[in-house]
Chain A
């Protein structure tokens, strides 16, 4: 199994490497998105409540902390969407050629994780130049979790709808979720926003950014949400590549 998974992952990574424009964009777009956002916001501070603590934080820092998981999630989600779309047919053929579903799942998840780590690394690199979170390891963990969560979300979207519709979903979902609904500036959020993919992960990242103690419950919630989403993604993926159903 290991050699098949290794082959599939190596081929996927090679495909990434063959598209230098894509790699360049994944490196440049976070710089533009996060850098521009940090630059344009007014130079002021505001009171926010994070994990029950009332704090006064500079607006630029708050935006930097919010934009990191958002950018990682947004880009990983789009990559997840297209990885799934482009590998759908190939994976069906690989199943016919003898690959087991779990081998394909492990290889695709590994590929997605590689993409998620790449965009998280770039996003973190940009933000850490101008902002120092209270807990850097916690902040990194939160950002990677956001990338993985939205990466799997992109995979589910990619399997469920066509590319055009998928891009529309990814255009709105991460931004509205992380930047608007999970924003610590919001004081009257509806209860249903707790069901969104960005809920736990944004709270965990904000906590790591501005408070000294990392809130384990939020991280556990974020990991749990990711695990559930991954499970849904695996079921959906299995159904798409299950060649025994193609009769």
Chain B
């Protein structure tokens, strides 16, 4: 089997293991809708305090926050669980001679593919559920894709460093919840802090696309930097956990 065919087979197998479970499909559709609505309703309950610094109404900001959070969280938790469940299988495959790099490529490609699908579902749901029309749905989709991929990489990274579901979930849930607060833009928070919030850039892109209908191009590079940093760290840690067996060493 050629390297390309191996990778394609790996992507297909990983994607099939996700889509095989009907509940995953249900989550993919229901979770963004639920999150968008719940965040929209919950923020709409608050009066407009002077320290709220939202670009749009609280209901719209809530729905945007819900969309960004649901997209990131879905991809992140999926990345975490995929990498933890694939670890043993990948170790065995590396013993069988498949290079760890190929295994990694197929895992990453699957997650990026699913992340794009998640972002597409979230964009569609946001367009339907927002009371006002979305200024530029395509730009909102770009923002959501970035948020989704950042969190998919973060999920892989957390899963590689903490390869147990309970510990990994605890870390990812707390990071995602805190990141969502920082990114939401509800409070005026020092930029020296928010610049370290991975979701803040996708959130800004989506907000600008929804409210102004323009593209926040200056936010793309920082967002891609998060993808690159998390991606490189995830590759290094995941390779480290899989590779030793292939080279005859002790598994991590």
Contacts and interface: CB of A to CB of B under 8 A. Distances in A.
Interface stretch (B186-194, B202-210, B219-227, B239-247): B186-194
Interface string B155-181: 000000010111101111110111001
B57 interface: no
Contacts of A59: 51
A32 B173 CA distance: 12
A42 B172 CA distance: 26
A33 B178 contact: yes
A176 to B, nearest CB: 5
Contacts, number: 114
B175 to A, nearest CB: 9
A175 interface: yes
Nearest to B43: A180
A7 interface: no
Interface stretch (B71-79, B94-102, B118-126): B71-79
Interface size class of B (residues with CB under 8 A): 35 or more
Given A172-B38, A187-B47, A190-B41, A40 B182 contact: yes
A75 B177 contact: no
B177 A171 contact: yes
Interface residues of A, number: 43
Contacts of A74: 173-174, 177
B31 interface: yes
B61 interface: no
Interface of B: 21, 23-24, 27, 31, 34-35, 38-39, 41-47, 49-51, 73-74, 77-78, 81, 162, 164-167, 169-174, 176-178, 181-182, 187-190, 193
Q: What 3 A-B pairs have minimum CB-CB distances, sorted nearest first?
A: A180-B42, A186-B45, A82-B166
